């Protein structure tokens, strides 16, 4: 039975005694990977293949007699063949925890609506870390959109843990090879402390469980943290949180760390500020000690006793350890001072939580392209803010659907309160995405671009002079378009409405056409003018109505024609006047009817002519008066038919002239006069009709 201190190493797949430990150096600290460097010797294996050792699990055990003092398990990550003197072989080896493998994987991926526990769990599972424990008391809400951008899995895990105020360490079992990764967000979750005495005289101390050196130090660190951020959903929100550091009586309070953007969108930012403050001051007060105990490692708490400086006899949280063991006698033929073990460790007061300092987040160094996505069969997919979802070209995990990414804001040409420009990218379009402050968690769409399958309107380079704004009918093949063509001599502005086009002008509208204006309407046109309408035509106006035309004037219609008006009616023309109709012609009026003219007057009919009236009837003229007919002439009244004439003059004379005159009365013919002369041989001719003025034009010529 062994009674002294010794070290052993086992490697999976090799005999337990394949190696003897010459020396080892185990370096550990919170929120980092431990590193175990070993010098080994083997008399059993003078030659080993790398495949027999590398990527295998190795187990270092520290014994005190037959009692296990400490076990460390890890992956062999480096192996070196050393000297060979034919009787034994020297080897060197590096061992790291299973989480070390995560540093070899670099990735681009998106996590959506997951909290830190879920994100870290995915990272650990994919890297083969199955034994881990999340010990969380702080609130860790889900993140809407979280991107691992070109980071190794390990770097991403460390950065995310630091942002959430989480530290981690390896918890080692005493009696077995069990070992688990512990993720913790408060010192309260650490195991209960154990007492360890102060004893500077290690030569006379039998027990290894003591501390021989203990030095307490403090340094000036940042005194406060101010974080600020912005969210478009609450643009007026201050978005600022302040956190003062604790235990800084020995320094000034002017050392402020201002962090923008703070990567928060709500009250959770206060926790971010507090965790940052703890991280910046995680080494403000540190004690460094020396012991031969292997039981002091990061993640444990100790209670120092017996120190001459009373204020140091308190609980401490172990944050780092450097364990070094020597076993020179393991090499046959070599002498030494025997097996030794030294532990140099660092602790902080246990009344505060050690947290990792904030780590730099990778920045996107420029815009990149992506494709707009949405549900199957959907062409436009957006939310109430006009945001869309996209699939990045580097994304290997998310499908091209409504869940491919977070909602991404879209920059518009103009954005005001209820006004501006709005053009929502369609599903399948390629867009240019940038990132606010270079943050991969905050994409914003700045533009759109064409590609081989998504071509431009028109046909380039033939249409290179055209600037086009063309939309596309939702789930259809139509489009609306506004096009500017700047081809020399063919400049044009073209507007196309797939269905309806509405124009609303709240005050005045002026249209100025220098040359011609043509309008073609396929169906109906309606113009409603609330007050007045004035239409002026400089030269000619032609208006053609294919079928019917109805003009309704509510009150008065005035029509003024400077020279001549011609009206041609193919079949019928009717004018209906409810009250009075006056026609005034300055010079002449002529009417021509191809067949028939009918005039009906309900009561009276009055015609006044300043000079002459001429009626020319081609065949028959008939006047029919129901009661009385009066024909009156101021000077001369004449009735002619061929050679027969009846003339009445203003002096009372009546002349009846004809080749033959027949008077017939069925009952009587009476003549009353003072004197009656009958001349058979000679007759007196009636007076001639007064001459008409010959300068009167015949309006029938017009």
- 14 lies in some domain: yes
- Residue 75: pLDDT band with limits 50, 70, 90: very high
Consecutive H or E run containing 147: strand 143-152
**Residue 702: its pLDDT value, please?**
38
Same domain, 382 and 468: no
Q: Any alpha helices (H) in 320-379, and if so which ranges?
A: none
pLDDT cut 90: percent of the chain above it: 65
Q: How confident is the model at residue 21 (pLDDT cuts 50, 70, 90)?
A: very high
Identify the residue with better confidence: 103 or 601.
103
Residue 172 to residue 191: CA distance in whole angstroms: 12
pLDDT (0 to 100) of residue 700: 45
Residue 124: the pLDDT is 97
- Answer yes or no: do 418 and 464 share one domain: no
Say yes or no: 372 and 419 in one domain.
yes
d(CA 41, CA 1): 23
394 and 438 belong to one structural domain: yes
Q: What's the confidence (pLDDT) of residue 212?
A: 94
| Lateral strand order in the sheet of 132-135 | 132-135, 179-184, 167-172
Confidence class of residue 658 from pLDDT cuts 50, 70 and 90? confident
248, 257 in Cβ contact below 8 A? no
Mean pLDDT rounded to a whole number for the chain: 89
Asked if pLDDT for residue 298 goes beyond 80, the answer is yes
The least confident of 195-204, 293-302, 344-353, 514-523 is 195-204
pLDDT > 50? residue 497: yes
Q: Are 208 and 292 in contact (CB under 8 A)?
A: yes
Residue 676 has pLDDT above 80, yes or no: no
HSE-up of 370 (CA within 13 Å, CB side)?
A: 28
Total domain count for the chain? Answer: 4
Give residue 694's pLDDT.
Answer: 53
The answer, yes or no, to whether residue 453 has pLDDT greater than 80, is yes
Are 444 and 479 part of one and the same domain?
Answer: no
Q: What is the pLDDT of residue 607?
A: 77
CA distance 326 to 39: 9
* Residue 511 placed within a domain: no
> What integer pLDDT is reported at residue 613 of this predicted model?
75
| Residue 287 and residue 307 in contact, taking contact as beta carbons nearer than 8 Å | no
Segment among 1-10, 86-95, 205-214, 678-687 with least mean pLDDT: 678-687
Angle at 273 between CA 271 and CA 276, to 5 degrees: 105
> End of a domain among 280, 304, 320?
280
Q: Are residues 393 and 427 in the same domain?
A: yes
451 and 375 within one domain? yes
**What predicted TM-score, i.e. pTM, was given to this entire model?**
0.78
Q: What is the pLDDT of residue 1?
A: 46
Structural domain includes residue 343:
no
How confident is residue 157, by pLDDT bands cut at 50, 70 and 90? very high
3-state secondary structure 81-128: EEEECCCCEEEEEEEECHHHHHHHCEEEEEEEEECHHHHHHHHHHHCC
The reported pLDDT for the residue numbered 697 is: 53
Do 267 and 235 belong together in one domain? yes
DSSP 8-state assignment for residue 388: B
Q: What is the pLDDT of residue 677?
A: 73
- List, for residues 299-318, the tens digit of each pLDDT value: 999 999 999 999 999 999 99
- 427 is a domain residue: yes
Question: Rounded distance, CA 219 to CA 251, Å?
Answer: 9
Residue 198 carries which DSSP code?
B
Shared domain for 42 and 9, answered yes or no, is yes
Domain end marker among 455, 473, 499: 455
Task: Specify whether 405 is located in the same domain as 477.
Answer: no
Which pLDDT band, with edges at 50, 70 and 90, does 29 fall under?
very high
φ/ψ of residue 162, rounded to 5: -65, -40
54, 78, 99: which is the final residue of a domain? 99
Least confident of 154-163, 351-360, 651-660: 651-660
Return the axis-axis angle of helices 269-280 and 153-163, rounded to nearest 10°: 110
What is the domain-level CATH number for residue 385? 2.40.50.230
Give yes or no for residue 444 having a pLDDT over 80: yes
Confidence of residue 648 (pLDDT cuts 50, 70, 90): confident
List pLDDT tens digits, range 553-584: 888 888 888 777 777 777 777 777 777 777 77
The answer to whether position 139 is within a domain reads no
Give the orientation angle of helix 116-126 with respect to helix 153-163, to 10 degrees. Answer: 160
pLDDT for the residue 291: 96
Cα distances (angstroms) measured from residue 262 to each of 91, 238, 358: 49, 12, 11
- Concatenate the DSSP letters of all residues of 638-696 into one string: EEEETTEEEEEETTS-EEEE-S------SS------S-----SS--PPPPPPPPPPTT-
Residue 413, domain extent: 363-455
**Contact call for residues 373 and 427 (beta carbons, < 8 A):** yes
The pLDDT of residue 2: 59
**Is the distance from CB of 13 to CB of 56 less than 8 angstroms?**
yes
Q: Of 341-355, 410-424, 520-534, which gets the smallest average pLDDT?
A: 520-534
Nearest of 349, 300, 69, 345 to residue 191 by alpha carbon: 300
Query: Residue 339: which H helix or E strand, with range?
Result: none
Q: What's the average model confidence in pLDDT over 643-667? A: 83
Question: Are residues 243 and 272 located together in one domain of the fold?
Answer: yes
Average pLDDT of span 638-647: 83
Q: Tell me how far CA of residue 206 lies from CA of 197, 213, 292, 345, 387, in angstroms.
A: 13, 16, 11, 21, 71
Q: What CATH number is given to the structural domain containing 239?
A: 4.10.220
Tell me, yes or no, whether 357 lies in a domain: no
Structure tokens at 59: 């187990």
Cα–Cα distance, 337 to 41 (Å, whole number): 18
What was the pLDDT predicted at 669?
79
Above pLDDT 70, what percent of the chain? 95
Higher pLDDT, 121 or 204: 121
Identify the band that residue 257 occupies on the pLDDT scale cut at 50, 70 and 90: very high
Mean per-residue pLDDT for 523-543? Answer: 87
207 occurs within a structural domain: no
CATH number at residue 12: 2.30.110.50
73 within a domain of the structure (yes/no): yes
Per-residue confidence band for 202, with pLDDT thresholds at 50, 70 and 90:
low
- Closest by CA position to 465, among listed 449, 483, 486: 486
Per-residue pLDDT at 67 exceeds 80:
yes
pLDDT tens-digit series, residues 348-399: 999 999 999 999 999 999 999 999 999 999 999 999 999 999 999 999 999 9
Q: Are 136 and 185 in contact (CB under 8 A)?
A: yes
Q: CA distances (Å), 39 to each of 27, 36, 322, in order?
A: 15, 10, 16
Give all strands (DSSP E) within 422-573, no chain letters. Answer: 430-435, 443-449, 466-470, 481-485, 492-496
Mean of the pLDDT values across residues 322-332?
Answer: 92
Do 24 and 90 fall into the same domain? yes
């Amino acid at each position: 039975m062994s009674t002294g201190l010794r070290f052993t190493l086992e490697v999976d797949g090799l005999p337990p005694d394949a190696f003897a430990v010459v020396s080892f150096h185990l370096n550990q600290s919170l929120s980092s990977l431990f590193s175990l460097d070993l010098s080994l010797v083997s008399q059993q294996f003078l030659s080993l293949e790398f495949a027999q050792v590398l990527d295998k699990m190795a187990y270092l055990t520290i014994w005190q007699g037959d009692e296990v003092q400490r076990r460390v398990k890890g992956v062999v990550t480096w192996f070196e063949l050393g000297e060979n003197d034919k009787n034994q072989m020297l080897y060197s080896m590096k061992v790291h925890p299973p989480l070390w493998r995560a540093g070899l994987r670099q990735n681009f991926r998106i996590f959506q609506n997951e909290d830190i526990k879920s994100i870290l769990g995915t990272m650990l599972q994919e890297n083969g870390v199955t034994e881990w424990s999340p010990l969380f008391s702080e609130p860790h809400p889900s993140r809407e959109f979280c991107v691992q951008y070109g980071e190794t899995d390990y770097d991403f895990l460390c950065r995310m843990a630091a942002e959430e105020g989480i530290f981690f360490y390896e918890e080692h079992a005493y009696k077995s090879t069990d070992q688990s990764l512990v993720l913790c967000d408060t010192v309260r979750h650490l195991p209960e402390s154990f007492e360890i005495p102060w004893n500077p005289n290690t030569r006379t101390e039998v027990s290894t469980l003591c501390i021989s050196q203990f030095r307490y130090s403090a340094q000036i660190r940042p005194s406060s943290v101010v974080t600020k951020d912005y969210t478009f959903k609450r643009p007026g929100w201050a978005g600022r949180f302040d956190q003062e550091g604790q235990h800084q009586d020995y320094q000034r309070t002017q050392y402020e760390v201002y962090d923008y953007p703070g990567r928060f969108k709500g009250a959770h930012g206060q926790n971010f500020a507090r965790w940052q403050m703890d991280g910046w001051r995680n080494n403000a007060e540190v004690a460094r000690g020396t012991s031969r105990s292997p039981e002091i490692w990061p993640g444990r708490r100790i209670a120092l006793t017996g120190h001459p400086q009373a204020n140091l006899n308190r609980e401490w949280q172990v944050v780092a350890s450097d364990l070094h063991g020597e076993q020179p006698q393991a090499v046959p033929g070599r002498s030494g001072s025997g097996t030794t073990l030294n532990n140099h460790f660092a602790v902080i007061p246990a009344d505060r939580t050690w947290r990792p300092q904030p780590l730099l987040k990778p920045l996107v160094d420029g815009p990149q392209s992506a494709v707009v996505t949405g549900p199957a069969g959907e062409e436009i997919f957006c939310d109430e803010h006009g945001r869309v979802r996209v699939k990045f070209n580097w994304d290997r995990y998310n499908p091209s659907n409504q869940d491919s990414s977070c909602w991404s804001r879209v920059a518009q040409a103009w954005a005001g309160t209820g006004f501006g420009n709005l053009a929502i990218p369609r599903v399948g379009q390629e867009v240019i995405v940038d990132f606010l402050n270079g943050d991969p968690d905050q994409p914003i769409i700045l533009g759109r671009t064409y590609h081989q399958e998504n071509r431009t309107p028109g046909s380039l380079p033939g249409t290179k002079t055209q600037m086009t704004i063309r939309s596309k009918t939702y789930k259809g093949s139509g489009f609306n378009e506004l096009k500017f063509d700047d081809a020399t001599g063919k400049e044009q502005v073209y507007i196309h409405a797939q269905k309806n086009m509405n124009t609303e002008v709240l005050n005045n509208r002026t249209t100025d056409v220098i040359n011609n204006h043509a309008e073609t309407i396929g169906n109906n046109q309606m113009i409603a003018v609330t007050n007045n309408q004035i239409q002026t035509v400089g030269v000619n106006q032609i208006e053609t109505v294919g079928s019917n035309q109805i003009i309704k004037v509510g009150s008065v219609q005035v029509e003024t024609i400077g020279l001549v008006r011609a009206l041609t009616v193919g079949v019928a023309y009717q004018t209906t006047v409810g009250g009075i109709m006056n026609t005034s012609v300055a010079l002449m009026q002529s009417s021509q009817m191809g067949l028939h003219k009918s005039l009906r007057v309900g009561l009276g009919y009055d015609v006044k002519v300043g000079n002459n009236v001429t009626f020319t009837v081609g065949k028959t003229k008939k006047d029919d008066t129901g009661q009385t007919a009066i024909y009156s002439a101021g000077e001369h009244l004449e009735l002619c038919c061929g050679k027969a004439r009846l003339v009445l003059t203003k002096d009372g004379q009546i002349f009846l002239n004809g080749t033959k005159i027949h008077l017939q009365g069925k009952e009587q013919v009476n003549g009353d006069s003072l004197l009656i002369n009958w001349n058979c041989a000679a007759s007196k001719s009636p007076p001639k009709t007064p001459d008409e003025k010959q300068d009167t034009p015949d309006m029938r010529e017009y």
